[in-house]
Amino acid sequence: MKIRKILTIGMLAGAAMLLPTATRATIVNSVHDFTTTTNTLYWISGSPWNAPKTGSTNNVCSSCHTIHHAPDPTRGPLFIHTPTARTFKTYDQAGSDTFPSGIIFSLGSSSLACLSCHDGSVAINSQDTGVNISGVQTNQSTTVKGTTPLYISSSAIPIEVNGAQDDLTHMHPIGVSYASCQAALPANSLKDPATAFTTAGSAVTVANQLKAGKVECATCHDIHRTIGNAPNSGIFTVASGQNLCLGCHNK
C-alpha cells in the first residue's frame, strides 16, 4: 500500500510537470526594444540606433542599463540613461478642492527613470557613463548614440508644460505615499496593501505594486513585462480597464 501511494504521488508530480505553464513576454520585441523593427520611428538613417554592431549581438538591455561603470547608482540598478533635469509639478500642487491635503509626494527613482525619456526633453538615445568611487562621481560623459538625438515626440518637447515646470497634475498621481493616502481619505477608500491586486484574485498584492510604499509609474506599467504575457511593453499585465483601478480603489 505504501509503495502504491508513493508511485501515485510520483505519477501526479510527473503529470503536473507536463502541464503547460503560464508564459510571460519579455522586453524583447516590445516598444522598449530599440534594436528591432518595432520602433522604426526611432531609427537613424534607416537603422535601429541600438542595432548590433560588427562582431557583437543584440543587447536590448543596453538602451537603459550597463554591466559596468554605471554613472550613478541612485538612478536605478545600473541605469545608464541620461536623467531628467526637470522640476515636476506633482498632483498635490493642482489646487483641487476635492483633493485631500497632507498627502506626501516625492518622485522615486523608478519614476524619474521613466521620465528621463518620457519628459520629452532628453533624447532616448542619450546615455551616460562614468565611475563612482566612494560616492564621488568621476569621468562622467554623455553620449548621444548615433549622433542624432531621438525624442518621444518629433522634437524635444516637455510633457504638459505649465510655465517653467513639467505638469504632472493631468495624470494619475505618482510619487505619492499609499499610507498617507489611506490616512487622508475616508475609511476603506483604498484597499489594504496585503490584499490581492486584482478582483479576480492573484498572488500579486497591492504592496507588490508599490515602490517603497509609493505609487509610481511601475505600479501600473510593466515595461519589462515581468508579469503575465502583455501584448506590449508598458501595458500592465495583471489587470486591465476598470480592474486596474479597482486593484487599489474600493469603489
Q: Give the residue, 11 or 75, on which the prediction is more confident.
A: 75
CB atoms within 10 A of CB 27: 19
| pLDDT recorded at residue 120 | 82
At 17-75, the pLDDT tens digits run 333 344 566 788 887 888 877 778 888 888 888 877 777 677 889 889 988 888 888 88
- What value does the mean pLDDT take over residues 130-147? 75
E strands in the chain:
43-44, 47-48, 88-89, 126-133, 136-144, 161-162, 165-167, 176-177, 214-215
Contact 169, 91 (CB under 8 A): yes
Average model confidence (pLDDT) for the chain? 79
Query: What percentage of residues in the chain have a pLDDT greater than 90?
Result: 21
Q: Which grid coordinates belong to 178?
A: 499609499
- What value does the mean pLDDT take over residues 158-179? 78
CA–CA distances in Å: residue 237 to residues 153, 170, 231, 248:
26, 23, 9, 15
The CA distance from 119 to 131, in Å, is: 26
Greatest mean pLDDT range, 24-33, 35-44, 169-178, 229-238? 169-178
Contact 157, 183 (CB under 8 A): no
Q: Give the residue, 162 or 226, on which the prediction is more confident.
A: 226
Q: Give the residue, 184 or 31, on which the prediction is more confident.
A: 184
| pLDDT recorded at residue 64 | 92
- Closest residue by Cα to residue 86 from 61, 115, 65: 115
DSSP states along 167-218: E-TTS---SEEHHHHHHHSPTTSB--TTSBSSTT--S-BHHHH-BTTEE-HH
At 91-125, the pLDDT tens digits run 888 888 888 888 889 999 999 999 998 888 889 99
The CA distance from 103 to 120, in Å, is: 27
| pLDDT recorded at residue 87 | 86
Amino acid at position 124, single letter: I
CB neighbours of 162 closer than 8 A, spacing ≥ 6?
89, 169
Which range among 15-29, 62-76, 131-145, 188-202 shows the weakest confidence by mean pLDDT? Answer: 15-29
Greatest mean pLDDT range, 80-89, 94-103, 106-115, 151-160? 106-115
The CA distance from 124 to 225, in Å, is: 20
The CA distance from 15 to 135, in Å, is: 53
- How much is the pTM? 0.80
Q: Give the residue, 192 or 226, on which the prediction is more confident.
A: 192
| pLDDT recorded at residue 98 | 82
Q: Which grid coordinates belong to 105?
A: 509626494
In the block, cell 516590445 appears at 30
In the block, cell 513585462 appears at 225
